């Protein structure tokens, strides 16, 4: 099978989900209360952390850096011309920048080494089985800085 056919097969297997706002009680097309109680707590915390990262409180010690980052990421995402985007979020446990793509998503696929209701697959970002052109946009915001060992 050639690489293009393989990429098409992978795209077919990616579930196309609506992208509701994370504060509407939905996670990846499922109701938040459909998750296990423990995963519901973990996911609610992740959503809260993501919101705080996107719109930091003045009391947050990283306010200036996070506020500036949001502005830069929003500016960068506005330059992406497409709508109906297939987005891949490496380290997507809290997805703080997902709301900046609201109304422009076809699907949003997130991997992280820790599970939340926002994560589609638990995996390391260095070892992913996707062919070129499976996604239109890849987000990876500082998650590799936490790596303990060097990738080979």
- Token representation of residue 55: 């719109």
Extended strands (E) in 37-120: 85-90, 105-112
- The residues spanned by each domain of the chain are 3-146
DSSP string, 110-151: EEESS--TT-SEE--TTS--PPTTS-SEEEE-SGGGG-SS--
| Interior/surface letters 134-144, b for 16+ CB within 10 angstroms, e for the rest | bbbbebebebe
Compute mean pLDDT per 10 residues along the chain, 152 residues long, and list them: 44 37 45 76 92 94 95 95 93 94 94 91 82 91 63 54
Question: Which pLDDT score is estimated for 150?
Answer: 57
């Amino acid at each position: 099978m050639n690489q293009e056919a393989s990429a098409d097969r992978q795209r077919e297997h990616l579930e196309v989900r609506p992208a509701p706002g994370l504060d509407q009680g939905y996670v990846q097309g499922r109701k938040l209360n459909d998750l296990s109680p423990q995963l519901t707590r973990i996911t609610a915390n992740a959503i809260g952390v993501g919101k705080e990262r996107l719109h930091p409180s003045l009391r947050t010690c990283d306010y200036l850096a996070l506020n500036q980052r949001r502005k830069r990421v929003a500016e960068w995402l506005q330059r992406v011309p497409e709508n109906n985007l297939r987005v891949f979020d490496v380290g997507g446990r809290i997805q703080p920048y997902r709301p900046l793509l609201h109304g422009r998503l076809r699907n949003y696929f997130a991997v992280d080494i820790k599970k939340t209701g926002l994560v589609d697959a638990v995996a390391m970002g260095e070892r992913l089985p996707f062919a070129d052109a499976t996604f239109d946009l890849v987000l990876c915001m500082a998650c590799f800085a936490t790596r303990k060992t060097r990738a080979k």
